Amino acid sequence: MTPAPGLIALGAVGYLNARPLVYGLDRSPRFSLRFDVPARCADHLHAGTIDVGLIPSIEYLRGDYRVVPELAISSRGPVASVALFARRPVSDLRSIALDTSSRTSVALVRVLCARVWHIQPGFEGLAPDLDDMLSRADAALVIGDSALLQPTTRPQRVEKLEKIDLGEVWTRATGLPFVWAFWAGRPGVLQSADVRALQEARDRGVEHADEIAAAYLGPSSEHVALGARYLRDNIQYLLGEDERSGLELFYRYAGEVGAVTGTRGLRFY
């Protein structure tokens, strides 16, 4: 979809956790809005088909971008929507299937394997189909709504899976939040008023978390309640000092395991 002339093209993640960041922006006279999985948001930004993208944090290192200050999708402790679903104890994992929808989560798995779990499994990138992934590997990385709503008892397999929350593992190991995604774009495309508009959208969205969960996950009352708790208790929308420290540490560790070829500090609008 080509945005109307003069509009700033925003590429947002289609998952529930991104909805507070874009609250009301679909009615903005300043922005056009499209939704994709995280990796595709990054691809569109790299290709120049959007001006600003809600990109996986690792993707910032792949281009000359500026970051919208104060805004992110982050967590301090359990995130609930980024997890390994494992058929055996983590120390015994020999293979992990990786959801190709988010490159940040893929890099984080590699970091945790090397630095926390001290294992060297084989990795295979696959589409996010848990049954198919677990037919080919000991564990599967799943992100987003699928991970949030995924039951750990699989009727198809008649087995119990362990859900290993990657946000919880990171914070327990480092004491820091983890930054999953943030708004980033080409230099000069946002003015100060645009930055304020994005920040104000976040503020309104956080205030309307229950309404957002109901609109996104209805009519299942169980899912709506789970989604509202998730937006209130698991996801944070801050990019403060602690989040920046966690992000810088992640970038360093990702470089050490070869997930990125170089790192740099954040540059802001």
Pick out the chain residues at pLDDT < 70. Answer: 1-5, 152-158
CATH class as words, domain 8-75+177-256:
alpha beta
Q: By the 8 A CB rule, do 237 and 74 touch? A: yes
What is the C-alpha end-to-end distance of the chain, expressed in Å? 26
Residue 194's H or E segment, with its range, is helix 192-207
d(CA 147, CA 173): 22
Residue 75's H or E segment, with its range, is strand 73-75
Note the pLDDT tens digit of each residue in 44-96.
999 999 999 999 999 999 999 999 999 999 999 999 999 999 999 999 999 99
Every domain range in the chain assigned CATH 3.40.190.10: 8-75+177-256, 82-174
User: For residue 151, what pLDDT is reported?
Assistant: 76
Q: Domain 82-174: which topology? A: D-Maltodextrin-Binding Protein; domain 2 (3.40.190)
The count of C-alpha atoms lying within 13 angstroms of the C-alpha of 252, restricted to the half-sphere facing its C-beta, is 9
Concatenate the DSSP letters of all residues of 8-37 into one string: EEEEEE-SGGGGGGGTTGGG-SSEEEEEE-
213: CB partners within 8 A, 6+ apart: 16, 224, 225, 227, 228, 230, 231
Note the pLDDT tens digit of each residue in 21-33.
999 999 999 999 9
